[in-house]
Amino acid sequence: MSDITKQSLTELVENIKNKKLSSTDVTKAFIDRSEKSVELNAYITNDFTSALDKAKKFDQKPNFNLKLPGIPMAVKDLFCTKDIKTTAGSKILNNFVPTYESTVTENIWNEGAILLGKLNCDEFAMGSSNETSFFGNVQSPIDKNLVPGGSSGGSASAVAGQLTPVTIGTDTGGSIRQPASFTGIVGLKPTYGSCSRYGIVAFASSLDQAGPMAQNVKDCALLHEVISSYDPKDSTSIEFKRNHYSKELTNNIKGKKIGIPKEYRVDGMPKEIEDLWQKGIQYIKDCGAETIDISLPNTSYALPTYYIVAPAEASSNLARYDGVKYGFRAKGENLIDMYEKTRSEGFGAEVQRRIMIGTYVLSSGYYDAYYLKAQKVRKLIKNDFDEAYKKVDAILTPSTPSSAFKIGEKTNDPVSMYLNDIFTVPVNLAGLPGISIPAGHDSKGYPLGLQIIGKAFDEQNILNIAYAMEEKINFKNKITDWWIK
Amino acid sequence: MSKKDSEYLINRKDNQYEVVIGLEVHAQVLSESKLFSTSATKFGAEPNTQVSLVDAAFPGMLPVINEFCVKQAIKTGIGLNAKINKRSVFDRKNYFYADLPQGYQISQFKDPIVGEGKVILDMPNGQKEIGIERLHLEQDAGKSIHDLDPQNTFVDLNRSGVALMEIVSKPDLRSPDEVNAYIKKLRSIMRYLGTCDGNMQEGSLRADVNVSVRPKGSKEFGTRCEIKNVNSIKFMQMAIEYEANRQVDLIEEGKTIDQETRLFDTRKNETRSMRSKEDAHDYRYFPDPDLLPLEVSEKFIEELKNDIPELPDDKKKRFIEEFKLSSYEANILVSDIDTAKYFEEVVAKMGKNKDIKLAVNWITGELFAVLNSKGLEISQSPVSAKNFAILINLIKNGTISGKIAKTVFELMIDGDKDPQKIVEEKGLKQQSDPKALEALIDKIINDNREKAIEYKQGKEKLFGFFVGQAMKASGGKANPQLINEILKKKL
């Protein structure tokens, strides 16, 4: 049985279709391992009992034409799931049970997958270490007391720790790619508008995007194929021809031109990151592709821009959590008092910090200097990419400026925490797709990732490049099962 | 009335003040569903029965623009002779309130869907043009109900998310009468277009009123106060009158006027301060990232233009030209679309040999009186345009007299009866046989010899007496014109 959880999604689908495994076998295996993995704190809510029921039902009447036939899957607790508590990692939604399903999870269940439970994340997806969750921090399967990254920390931990074959996260400034990088897995942030935002608890609407997290590129392509769809319920969803990403996946990237942006060589970047990047360039060349030095001149403005735009939108998006309609409500003397107490007690420190920043930058008198200027810079950053893509097909960068850090190491230094996202935020600001693949280990044996950034709607291309590199890198995640007694 | 006489001025000792008024009218878009959700908009439904997850701002819910509401706003813009903006942007207006589930209202701040336009008012001293600054689309909030429970406030979200058009005028209005005419004109245009039912009792039309005063002849504007959410024309007029006098008093006392938001207390008939400029909300407007900028093509606008019916100004012009009506009569008929429709149907049903003047008199006289006394709209008229037209034709062709017609009309009201049948059944046909009338008149003159002599000696007033006697003797059915002629001959 223990072998089952080591299998990739592609293998599991194959084995279920060939009737070598039943959905019940697979579901049981992941439930067993999840139950032994409480110390990782990857789950906020589990739905194991009904998952088993669903697996049995699937086995009684299997439909092997589906893309995820009877595959159990846990998802980030930012996706609203019908009749299953959805918290966004916050006390303020601790008792919230949606009566509706997000489009992305709906797409997954429609292809035959079965919900295992809801995965831990930073509160309202605000964080880079999964330490801001009301439900406690998540342990990395890589090492004890190591952060799995964030905000999709529970998702990363669950995939790397084999508690779920694959999962979905959300990425506003790096929340899929950074934890993927920290835990040695693959994570794709699709083009803005590729996956519907309907039913996903909003953080920053113009940046949020759901995406797959998996043990390998092929699994990632398959899950992306399932979740990406045009959705009229999301006005920012875009209608375009979506590929059969897994079927069209190829490792032939001969002749592709890959840009290497010099501005990503930031001050104080550890040598091992630079070395990893050089290794990546070599792999690209080994695959028969070409690398070209390019410039993305406004890169250094991306992080400050992000920390204006994202909090601004968040401050407004989170106004609905006021204790009036649903969720946590504190007792108050009057309406204002109730608001203040509800939001003071219901939101954690990081969320409150970002609401304050967002409120400030939108205030009259400051709007032009901050929000409006940030929007202009955002346009410049996008233009940088547009310019670059006249010469190259994709861009290769490190995923993060360092490997994973210890729990508590950066808690009191938000700026150093924010710096984690330095390579990932420009991609969100430009609305482009980006994928992080594991590419090596640092001196402590912690995983390091490389990021491939693509043109808008060109997910197939970056998946192909990642697929080709994956073969050359031949990365082996070092999971010791340290948390299993 | 000369222009000078009609000027609305406030007098204090030697000083005269002019009042400057601008209105922000909130007109509910006539639509089946809300601006960003598919919930119904019906008035008077049970509380919280027309609320979707979007309206109640559940986590992860997203707004999707209702194309019909966009069309309605553009049509209204066309009706206001305004510039239609091909690109407009929805912004979030952020503030906390219990009946605002999202914590922000989706509105249009910088880039409204409709730009500058104008409406023409017919005032007693002539026409006046009022500038329109802009029209934008926005969501309505829910309703807080404070009087159901001593401890709690209840919230009804049926209105939450309903589409409103905010129509902002330029500060071109100068009197409560102009405000009255302006609101009625807006209402009339929107009802012609079918974009707002204009029902003020149901809150479909309400306004924020900006009032300032300045010495007569001054070109600069005074400091303005905004009176929030006034929901009837009468209250708007009362509020303006009170507020303008309050401001004049302050100036006369040498005090300054604070720019502030005020509320009109309908019971005390006064405005009072709600919040000062310093306490004004910082709404932190920014473009709603859940919605893309709203872009409409030239073709889209052109198609809507082709869909615009004849509007009151054009209809009035046509009525004057085609039917030779006075400006006054035409105004009465066109101001309400249903009246205009009724009138045009009557005209159509009267056929070739029609008396339009007579029809107008009867509509504005007898019909309006009946509707008034029964509290009915013309669309609910107990007498159909078809039967009304027959009645007018019966008068016109001499079948019945005007006086008999009134009796017939009263009988028609009950069940929209055919006047022709009433006349036949009740034997009300006018006596127009000269021989019979002559005999009748001979008898009257005979019976009243002395009065006939007095008349001949010059007491001309007595002519009326003889007419009366003749009508009485005929049971009111005698043709009055013939009676006149015969009497003149015989006396």
Q: Catalogue all structural domains in chain B, each as residue range(s) with its CATH number.
A: 3-305 (no CATH), 310-426 (no CATH), 434-490 (1.10.10.410)
Q: Between residues B483 and A309, which one has the greater pLDDT?
A: A309
Nearest to A25 by CA among A73, A74, A71: A71
Euclidean distance between the first and the last CA atom of chain A, given in angstroms as a whole number = 17
What per-residue confidence (pLDDT) applies to B428?
A: 79
Mean pLDDT of A135-164: 97
What per-residue confidence (pLDDT) applies to A420?
A: 87
| Domain membership of residue A407 as a residue range | 4-259+390-473
A80 → closest Cβ in B59, B97, B289: B59
Q: Which positions in chain A have a beta carbon within 8 angstroms of at least one beta carbon in chain B?
A: 80, 86, 88, 93, 96, 98-100, 102, 197-202, 204-206, 232-236, 312-313, 315-316, 318-320, 322, 324-326, 335, 339, 359, 362-364, 367, 371
Nearest chain B alpha carbon to A363? B284
Q: How far is B89 from chain A (nearest CA, A)?
A: 13
A102 → closest Cβ in B56, B60, B292: B60
pTM of the predicted protein model: 0.92
Nearest chain A alpha carbon to B95? A319
How many structural domains comprise chain A? 1
Mean pLDDT of A344-354: 98
Domain assignment of residue A277, yes or no: no
Instruction: Place A1 in a pLDDT band, splitting at 50, 70 and 90.
Output: very low
B96 touches chain A (CB under 8 A): yes
Q: Which residue, among B55, B61, B62, would best test binding to A if mutated, counting the most A CBs under 10 Å from its CB?
A: B62
Measured between beta carbons, the chain A residues lying within 8 angstroms of B292 are 235-236
Cβ contact, residue pair B284, A363, below 8 Å: yes
B42-89 pLDDT, tens digit per residue, is 999 999 999 999 999 999 999 999 999 999 999 999 999 999 999 999
B60 touches chain A (CB under 8 A): yes
**Joined tokens for residue B259:** 């720019």
The whole-angstrom distance between residue A24's C-alpha and the CA centroid of its chain comes to 28
Measured between beta carbons, the chain B residues lying within 8 angstroms of A325 are 56-58, 101
A436-460 pLDDT, tens digit per residue, is 999 999 999 999 999 999 999 999 9
> Which residue has tokens 């204002």?
A336
Measured between beta carbons, the chain B residues lying within 8 angstroms of A102 are 60
Contact between B118 and B129 under an 8 Å Cβ cutoff? The reply is yes
Contact between B121 and B138 under an 8 Å Cβ cutoff? The reply is no
Domain assignment of residue A176, yes or no: yes
Residue B447 CB contacts under 8 Å (≥ 6 apart), including other chains = none
Calculate what percentage of chain A has a pLDDT beyond 90. 96
Domain assignment of residue A379, yes or no: no
Measured between beta carbons, the chain B residues lying within 8 angstroms of A199 are 60-61
Q: Which residue, among B48, B286, B292, would best test binding to A if mutated, counting the most A CBs under 10 Å from its CB?
A: B286
In whole angstroms, give the CA distance from residue B469 to residue B457.
20
Backbone Cα Rg of chain A = 21
Measured between beta carbons, the chain B residues lying within 8 angstroms of A238 are none
Domain assignment of residue A343, yes or no: no
Which one of A175, A181, A228, A315 is the catalytic residue? Answer: A175
A384-397 pLDDT, tens digit per residue, is 999 999 999 999 99
B60 → closest Cβ in A202, A236, A359: A202
Cβ contact, residue pair B284, A201, below 8 Å: no
What per-residue confidence (pLDDT) applies to B74?
A: 98
B96 → closest Cβ in A96, A206, A319: A319
B57 touches chain A (CB under 8 A): yes
For chain B positions 144-163, those within 8 Å of chain A (CB to CB) are: 153, 155
Nearest chain B alpha carbon to A371? B286
What per-residue confidence (pLDDT) applies to A428?
A: 98
B291 → closest Cβ in A235, A363, A364: A235
Residue A215 has pLDDT above 50, yes or no: yes
B102 → closest Cβ in A200, A319, A326: A319
Separation in Å, CA B40 to CA A453, B50, B52, B147, B157: 45, 6, 9, 26, 12
Measured between beta carbons, the chain A residues lying within 8 angstroms of B56 are 325
Mean pLDDT of A3-32: 97
What per-residue confidence (pLDDT) applies to B441?
A: 86
Q: DSSP string spanning B38-96?
A: --B--TTPPTTSS--TTTTT-TT------HHHHHHHHHHHHHTT-PBPSEE--EEEE--
What per-residue confidence (pLDDT) applies to B427?
A: 79
Contact between B95 and B281 under an 8 Å Cβ cutoff? The reply is yes
What is the average pLDDT value for chain A, to the nearest integer?
97
Q: How far is A30 from chain B (nearest CA, A)?
A: 29
For chain B positions 195-234, those within 8 Å of chain A (CB to CB) are: none
Q: Is A151 a catalytic residue?
A: yes
Phi, psi of A314 (to 5 degrees): -65, -40
Q: Which residue, among A80, A205, A316, A372, would best test binding to B if mutated, counting the most B CBs under 10 Å from its CB?
A: A316
Q: Is A262 a catalytic residue?
A: no
Q: How far is A374 from chain B (nearest CA, A)?
A: 12
Which one of A102, A128, A140, A151 is the catalytic residue? Answer: A151
Cβ contact, residue pair B282, A364, below 8 Å: yes
Domain assignment of residue A301, yes or no: no
B104 → closest Cβ in A202, A316, A325: A316
B94 → closest Cβ in A93, A200, A319: A319
Residue A153 has pLDDT above 80, yes or no: yes
Residue A205 has pLDDT above 50, yes or no: yes
Sign (positive/negative) of CA torsion B481, B482, B484, B485? positive
A268-293 pLDDT, tens digit per residue, is 889 999 999 999 999 999 999 999 99
Which one of A76, A91, A118, A218 is the catalytic residue? Answer: A76
What per-residue confidence (pLDDT) applies to B3?
A: 43
Backbone Cα Rg of chain B = 30
**Joined tokens for residue B99:** 């009946």
Q: How far is A206 from chain B (nearest CA, A)?
A: 5
Q: Which residue, among A95, A172, A362, would best test binding to B if mutated, counting the most B CBs under 10 Å from its CB?
A: A362
Residues of chain B where predicted confidence (pLDDT) is lower than 70:
1-6
Mean pLDDT of A119-128: 97
What per-residue confidence (pLDDT) applies to B278?
A: 74
Nearest to B366 by CA among B355, B379, B351, B381: B381
What per-residue confidence (pLDDT) applies to B6?
A: 66
CATH number of the domain that A461 lies in? 3.90.1300.10
B290 touches chain A (CB under 8 A): yes
Does residue A151 have a cis bond before it (omega within 30 degrees)? yes
Domain assignment of residue A286, yes or no: no
Q: How far is A316 from chain B (nearest CA, A)?
A: 7
In whole angstroms, give the CA distance from residue B417 to residue B386.
10
Nearest chain B alpha carbon to A323? B98
Instruction: Place A13 in a pLDDT band, splitting at 50, 70 and 90.
Output: very high
Residue A2 has pLDDT above 60, yes or no: no
Q: Is A175 a catalytic residue?
A: yes
Cβ contact, residue pair B58, A100, below 8 Å: yes
Mean pLDDT of A257-264: 97
Mean pLDDT of A25-52: 98
- Tell me the count of A-B CB pairs closer than 8 A: 96
User: Among the residues of A291-432, which ranges form H helices?
Assistant: 302-317, 335-346, 349-362, 373-388, 414-418, 425-430
What per-residue confidence (pLDDT) applies to B65?
A: 98
Q: What is the ipTM score, two decimals?
A: 0.96
Separation in Å, CA A324 to CA A333, A339, A473, B56: 14, 8, 53, 10
Q: Which helix (H) or strand (E) holds B254?
A: none
Cβ contact, residue pair B62, A86, below 8 Å: no
